[in-house]
Amino acid sequence: MNLDDALQTFFAECRELLIEMEDALLVVLQSEPKEELVNAIFRAAHTIKGSAGLFGLDHIVAFTHVVESVLDRVRDGKLPVTESLVSLLLGCCDQIGRLAEAVAAGHNGIDEQLQSQGAPLLAQLSAYLDSPAPKALPVTAITVSADPVERIAHAGIDADHWHISIRFGADVLRNGMDPLSFLRYLATMGSIVGIATLADSIPDAGNMDPESCYLGFEIAFRTGADKATIESVF
């Protein structure tokens, strides 16, 4: 099977999984027990995210990861299944479908219309993740400010940008996420005008775990998006 055939298989599988996810969401409120349906919804989102990652569809991975993180909290019993949550997740199904269909139509990035449709969904999802943070969230620390980026040695950077300071968690690679996919997704929203990779946490070779992530980044980012939209990427 060549890459184009595999990609078409992904689109077909994605459509089927979204139908399964939507069908389960439509009946989960009336069902007892809910565990089997919740697990099926989670598996659908997890499979779509993983398959999208294989093809470098980072904007689909980034959006679906947030959906998956909320569903992970539901599975752990930290969030109840409510009518408002189900309504939000149904909207997220539609958004994942729009993202996938746009790629199927030949648009490999995310356009402004899709971004504007996804932003309020991400904001609502983030409200379910405020406390405590989901165990799969790959970021241990992030700040977004208008402060100067002092650690970036990049000629010509002016003050007209956002400063993003980010540290990824040690388990991000084990959880199947690529830190660079978040940075590539940022580029669909604006321009990374400077970046410094922080390797301060890397141990000596004898103590290094090849499956752990030790990196952080300081980023100068120029965009028309607001602070909340930038934070929602992570």
Mean pLDDT check: name the lowest of 133-137, 146-150, 167-171. 133-137
Architecture of domain 3-127 in CATH?
Up-down Bundle (1.20)
pTM above 0.75, yes or no: no
The helix (run of H) or strand (run of E) holding residue 124 is: helix 112-127
pLDDT at 175: 66
Res. 228 pLDDT band, cuts 50 70 90: confident
What does the longest C-alpha to C-alpha distance in the chain come to?
61
Q: How confident is the model at residue 190 (pLDDT cuts 50, 70, 90)?
A: confident
Domain boundaries, the chain: 3-127, 139-232
Those residues whose C-beta lies under 8 Å from the C-beta of residue 181, and which sit 6 or more positions away, are 53, 56, 58, 61, 62
CA atoms within 13 A on the CB side of 233: 28
Q: Which tokens in the block code for residue 211? A: 């499956």
Mean pLDDT of the chain: 81
State the CB neighbour count (10 A cutoff) for residue 67.
Answer: 26
The closest of 95, 143, 144, 93 to 116, measured between CA atoms, is 95
Going by C-alpha positions, the residue among 219, 72, 70, 200 that lies closest to residue 157 is: 219
CA distance 212 to 173: 6
Chain position carrying tokens 């970021």: 139
Most confident of 78-82, 151-155, 178-182, 185-189: 78-82
Confidence of residue 110 (pLDDT cuts 50, 70, 90): low
Cα angle at 99 between 97 and 105, to 5 degrees?
A: 100
Burial of 86 (0-12, 13-18, 19+ CB in 10 A): middle
Q: How many CB atoms lie within 10 A of CB 185?
A: 20
